[in-house]
Amino acid sequence: MKPYLLQKIPEKLAPLAVEGWHKPGSLTLASGAWIHAAGAFVVEKGTWPLVPHDQWIWLVVERGSLILSWDQHDLGLAAGDTCFIPAANKPAAITVSEQTRCLWLALEGPLSPMVVRKMGALLHVPLKQGALPSQIYLAEQIVQVIVRHSGTGNATYQLQHLMYGLVASHWGQPVAMNGMLSHEIAKVVDTLRANQYKENFSLADMAEISRMPMETFRKRFVAEVGMPPLSYVLHCKMERAKELLRDQNWSVRQAGAAVGMQDPYHFSKQFKHIVGISPSAFMKLASAPAATIRGATPKRKGPAKPDLIRELEELEKSKAGKSMEDLESWEDLEKLEEDLSEEELQELADMENLEDIENENTPLEPEP
């Protein structure tokens, strides 16, 4: 079978490369985004061309390091780093100087750009991102599941559950390395998220919230979340800052202050260390038309149904200011869409839903 991501896998490395693809069920298709394929590979020193794709590829460096070359962009990634390779059907390659192991997931569906953005990435250019240990753990599970059930829909709901676990973990929602977070650790994670990472909680502050001795709390947090508490807080602060810079058009000083870093120099230094580029460079990339969901979505091929568009507009207006959990109109939306063909549904997604959903986060509201 032709490899999905690497153009060629040497015979001696073939046993270390696994991959599979997913046949989504009807409910998964209706969700608008799903994992199309996933796999893992090990490569040795050299340059390895990648197969161009029109799906977004989440690449995770599990061990070693590499340089990703994509459309005249070179991006260095070390162990624990990730990036999204844009769905642009452009040639790409990875260059490694030592044996390197990677995991990868390919996302598909009309709402897959939303998942990419919710994971903190830009749609038109690869950007270095750190991954929480829980996200790498979930990625490993996804690869295992999709390889076992390749070419079938036997694990379609499990894969959706794991995919949304990745998004939940990214947004600071309690996701443990194994099962669920304990009540004590989940309480700390929830407190940090509810505060939107504005305050600079010390280790002692977090231990007090958990009602555990400080050293006991630190060990429990590392065991359950997979990283030290203060490292986790810094990761979440930078992801929150990226959201403010990209979606709210805040200045560097404002974004830094919003995550508890009043000194712009200190904020910029930490941001560049985590993200790989300065906040101002990130803002410049994020302001490009291709970085928006509208810019990254294929152009529609023909007119959609005017009456339905008007009804959808009314539904979208009625949801203003509400979180996803508050909405009661999705059933109505499904009824309106029942008689549409797949192509017409895609057109609607391109014209209305994606642009509206892109702007659904009102300033300073917690992520649902």
pLDDT of residue 209: 94
Q: Do residues 175 and 169 make contact, with C-beta atoms less than 8 angstroms apart?
A: yes
Please give the chain's pLDDT, 368 residues, in tens.
Answer: 578 899 888 888 888 899 999 999 899 999 999 999 999 999 999 999 999 988 999 999 999 999 999 988 899 999 999 999 999 888 899 999 999 999 999 999 999 999 999 888 988 899 998 888 888 989 999 999 999 999 999 999 989 999 998 888 888 776 766 666 788 998 999 899 888 899 999 999 999 999 999 999 999 999 988 889 999 999 899 999 998 998 888 999 999 999 999 999 999 999 998 888 899 999 988 888 777 665 555 443 344 444 444 444 454 445 444 433 333 343 444 444 444 445 544 444 444 334 433 343 334 444 43
241 shares a domain with 126: no
User: Cα 309 to chain center, whole Å?
Assistant: 29
CB burial of 203-235 (b: ≥16 within 10 Å; e: otherwise) equals beebbebbebebeebbebbbebbbbebeebbbb
- Residue 160 placed within a domain: yes
pLDDT of residue 309: 44
Total Cβ atoms within 10 A of residue 284: 12
- First-to-last CA distance in the chain? 41
- Residue 224 placed within a domain: yes
- Residue 221 placed within a domain: yes
For residue 367, the 8-state DSSP code is: P
Q: Do residues 57 and 49 make contact, with C-beta atoms less than 8 angstroms apart?
A: no
Domain finish residue from 169, 203, 230: 169
pLDDT of residue 350: 46
Give the CATH number for residue 100: 2.60.120.10
- Residue 326 placed within a domain: yes
- Residue 157 placed within a domain: yes
Give the CATH number for residue 214: 1.10.10.60
346 shares a domain with 248: no
User: Cα 338 to chain center, whole Å?
Assistant: 29
320 shares a domain with 270: no
- Residue 323 placed within a domain: yes
Range of the domain at 234: 183-290
158 shares a domain with 101: yes
Q: Do residues 261 and 267 make contact, with C-beta atoms less than 8 angstroms apart?
A: yes
pLDDT of residue 171: 80
125 shares a domain with 20: yes
Q: Which helix (H) or strand (E) holds 238?
A: helix 229-247
- Residue 298 placed within a domain: no
Of 335, 338, 242, 228, nearest to 285 (Cα)? 242
What contacts 271, CB < 8 A, 6 or more positions away?
Answer: 238, 241, 278, 279, 282
Number of domains composing the chain: 3
What contacts 292, CB < 8 A, 6 or more positions away?
Answer: 123, 358
273 shares a domain with 152: no
101 shares a domain with 64: yes
- Residue 93 placed within a domain: yes
201 shares a domain with 334: no
197 shares a domain with 129: no
pLDDT of residue 324: 36
